[in-house]
Every structure is written in structure tokens, then in C-alpha cells.
């Protein structure tokens, strides 16, 4: 039997698959899932003292979350599945019909015809058994061609019921949502810790700060341990923010650590280079130059689009300090 409108497009609409109260109160379902996600994240956080400290990059965080939640997601799947009712949707079933040589036959017409033909009541009852119809509808949707459908051993009601359960549950609970909550927290910690502008630092200061954190580095090994930008006086292969738990600690994927701030549309590209080159000029001059991003595209990287100069206002005091630092050096060098 085929449905009046295109059956394939409508797929599983034949089934009333409802989160019992959730379907009537979608906001309840949303709140319930949100609470679940947050609980998972809270539980995940117990495994580390501080997300930023434990996870150097967002990728590290995501990998750990994935590992942590796989069992939680199974629990969620099971508890959601228990709350889903799956049954044939009789409204839709009433529209089933088959256009054949004997006319346009609906499911109900067929029953009337069978009774008229004095088919035994028990046979009719068996044909209209809900579980039996459920199997027919499932198989019919999956294998629209009758040749294909009849040529294979049909699945049992129980098997098909389980398939429907899985279909109805999928999409309701998402790893991505849990990741999002954890990522938001990590980003907040990162942003807070990395608020200050990176200030120029001498090799000697780096060594002192690193040794204070039990990092193995000496005057002799300094250049083997750190990639150091002599001109801008910046470490290039470890976090330069004293408040960050990863300050001066070596990580292979340092660029991923700082990539978060580069996603910001107002990230001041080449700020240190500009402050160095324009150290005898005003903060406004540096801001203007950085805002046009004219220097950032120099190193074969994709040229970022210009930014609104006023979006750098909060940095002005620190840029002033930066200019003074670089000005001091220009006398020495
Ligand atoms: Zn950092
Ligand atoms: Zn670290």
C-alpha cells in the first residue's frame, strides 16, 4: 500500500513518537536536557582543578570531554528512550490506499471488503493486528519496492521497534551541546587570564621567571629552550602571560593555545611590531596603523580585515607602556 502523498519524504511520520510530556511541553524537554548537559559538565570538571590549567588548548579539552561523556550519553539515551512512546499514527494510517485494478482501496475499505467476502474474523483481526501493521509500515517505508520487500525475510516487531526507538532518540542528546558548555567555561577562564597585553621581556627575566616555576633553563640553554624574538623581546613558543597557568611552559601546540584570541574580530594583529617601529610616536598613531592591519599580512598569512580603531580603546594604557618599553630599548641598541 502507498500513501496519498509521497511516502518517502514523510518517512517516519507514520509513527507517533513522543516524549510523553516533552512533546506537549517542549520547553520542559529543553530545560531537562540543559540540566543534564550542565550536570555532565560539572561532573567532568571534578576531574580537574581548573579547566584552563588542565587543558592547554580547546582541542585538548574537546578530546577529554568526548572520552568522559561517552558513558553519560548512553545513560541519557536509555533514560530518554524510556520516556518515548512509539506507536502507529492512526490518522496517517487512515490515508493509506492502493490504486489497483479493483479501484482505489483504503486500509479501512480493505477490511470492509474482507468482511463482505466473509473472510474469517480471526484472519481479519490478525491482518489488522497493530504489531503486524507496525511491521508492514516499517518495512514498506524502508523498502518501497514490493519486489525488494517480499524478497527478504521481514524483521520482527521487536527488532523494528528498537530501530524506531533509536531513530527517535537520535538528535535529542548531543555531544556538541555538552562540549559547548565546557568550551564556554574554558574560554571564559582563558579570556580572563589573557586580558593583559603581552609585555616585552628580556632573556634574563624569562630565565628567572621560568626557574621560579621549576622549568629547566639556564643562560646557556636559553636559546635552545625558547624561541626568542630579540627585536620585539618576546618568547615565541610558550605562553607569555604571567597569570596563565601555562606561563613559559613549553608545549608543542602553543599556537593552538593562543588561537582562541585570534578568532576575535578586533584582535590587534602586529601590535608589538607596530609599537616597536612607532615607539617615538603617539598611541593614536599605533592604533591607527594596527587598525588598518597593513603589516599583519606581510608574512604570507591571509590578510585580516581592518578593525574599528575605537575597539582598541581598552588597550590604550597598555600600548602606552609598550611604547615606553620599546623606546627605552631603541636608545640601547
Ligand atoms: Zn596562556
Ligand atoms: Zn601547560
Q: What is the pLDDT along the chain (333 residues), one digit of tens a residue?
A: 444 443 333 333 344 443 334 445 567 667 777 887 888 888 889 988 899 999 999 999 999 998 888 776 777 666 666 666 667 766 667 767 766 666 677 777 778 888 888 888 888 888 888 888 888 877 877 777 778 877 888 788 888 877 776 665 555 556 788 889 999 999 999 999 999 999 999 999 999 999 999 999 999 999 999 999 999 999 999 999 999 999 999 998 999 999 998 888 888 988 999 999 999 999 999 999 999 876 555 555 566 678 889 999 999 999 999 999 999 887 654
Q: How far is the CA of 247 from the centre of ligand 1 (A)?
A: 6
The closest ligand to the CA of 242 turns out to be 1
- Cα(249) to ligand 2 centroid in Å equals 6
251 Cα: distance to centroid of ligand 2 (angstroms): 7
| Ion ligand 1: residue ranges with CB closer than 5 A | 239, 241, 244, 246
Nearest ligand, measured from the Cα of 260: 1
Q: Hey, where are the domains in the chain?
A: 1-45+72-175, 194-254, 264-333
pLDDT at 226: 97
Ligand number with the minimum distance to the CA of 252: 2
What is the pLDDT, as a whole number, of residue 1?
43
CA of 48 to the centre of ligand 2 (A): 13
Closest listed ligand to the CA of 53: 2
Residue 79's pLDDT is what? Answer: 66
Give per-residue burial for 161-197: e unless 16+ CB within 10 Å, then b. beebbeebbeeebebeebbebbbebbbebbeebbeeb
Q: How far is the CA of 53 from the centre of ligand 2 (A)?
A: 7
Which ligand gives the minimal distance to the CA of 239?
A: 1
**Predicted local confidence at residue 263, as pLDDT:** 84
Ligand 2 centre to CA of 152 (Å) is 58
Tell me how far the alpha carbon of residue 287 lies from the centroid of ligand 1, in angstroms.
24
Question: Any idea which ligand is nearest the CA of 240?
Answer: 1
- Residues 200, 202: Cα–Cα separation, whole Å: 7
Amino acid at each position: 500500500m502507498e500513501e496519498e502523498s509521497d511516502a518517502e519524504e514523510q518517512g517516519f511520520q507514520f509513527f507517533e513518537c513522543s516524549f510523553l510530556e516533552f512533546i506537549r511541553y517542549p520547553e520542559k524537554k529543553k530545560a531537562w536536557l540543559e540540566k543534564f548537559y550542565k550536570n555532565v559538565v560539572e561532573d567532568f570538571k571534578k576531574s580537574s582543578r581548573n579547566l584552563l590549567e588542565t587543558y592547554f588548548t580547546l582541542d585538548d579539552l574537546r578530546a577529554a570531554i568526548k572520552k568522559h561523556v561517552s558513558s553519560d550519553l548512553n545513560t541519557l539515551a536509555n533514560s530518554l528512550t524510556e520516556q518515548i512512546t512509539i506507536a502507529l499514527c492512526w490518522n496517517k494510517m487512515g490515508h493509506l490506499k492502493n490504486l489497483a485494478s479493483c479501484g482505489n482501496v483504503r486500509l479501512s475499505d480493505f477490511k470492509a471488503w474482507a468482511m463482505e467476502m466473509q473472510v474469517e474474523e480471526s484472519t481479519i483481526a490478525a491482518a489488522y493486528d497493530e504489531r503486524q501493521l507496525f511491521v508492514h509500515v516499517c518495512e514498506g517505508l524502508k523498502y518501497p519496492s514490493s519486489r525488494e520487500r517480499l524478497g527478504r525475510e521481514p524483521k520482527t516487531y521487536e527488532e523494528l521497534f528498537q530501530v524506531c526507538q533509536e531513530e527517535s532518540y537520535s538528535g535529542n542528546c548531543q555531544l556538541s551541546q555538552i562540549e559547548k558548555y565546557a568550551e564556554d567555561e574554558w574560554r571564559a577562564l582563558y579570556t580572563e587570564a589573557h586580558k593583559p597585553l603581552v609585555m616585552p621581556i628580556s632573556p634574563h627575566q624569562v630565565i628567572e621567571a621560568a626557574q621560579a616555576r621549576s622549568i629547566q633553563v639556564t643562560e646557556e640553554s636559553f636559546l635552545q629552550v625558547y624561541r626568542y624574538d630579540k627585536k620585539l623581546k618576546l618568547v615565541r613558543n610558550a605562553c607569555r602571560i604571567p597569570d596563565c597557568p601555562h606561563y613559559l611552559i613549553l608545549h608543542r601546540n602553543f599556537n593552538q593555545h593562543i588561537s582562541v584570541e585570534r578568532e576575535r574580530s578586533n584582535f590587534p594583529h602586529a601590535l608589538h611590531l607596530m609599537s616597536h617601529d612607532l615607539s617615538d610616536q603617539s598611541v593614536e598613531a599605533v592604533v591607527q596603523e594596527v587598525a588598518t592591519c597593513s603589516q599583519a599580512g606581510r608574512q604570507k598569512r591571509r590578510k585580516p580585515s581592518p578593525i574599528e580603531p575605537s575597539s582598541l580603546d581598552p588597550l590604550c594604557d597598555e600600548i602606552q607602556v609598550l611604547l615606553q618599553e620599546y623606546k627605552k630599548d631603541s636608545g640601547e641598541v
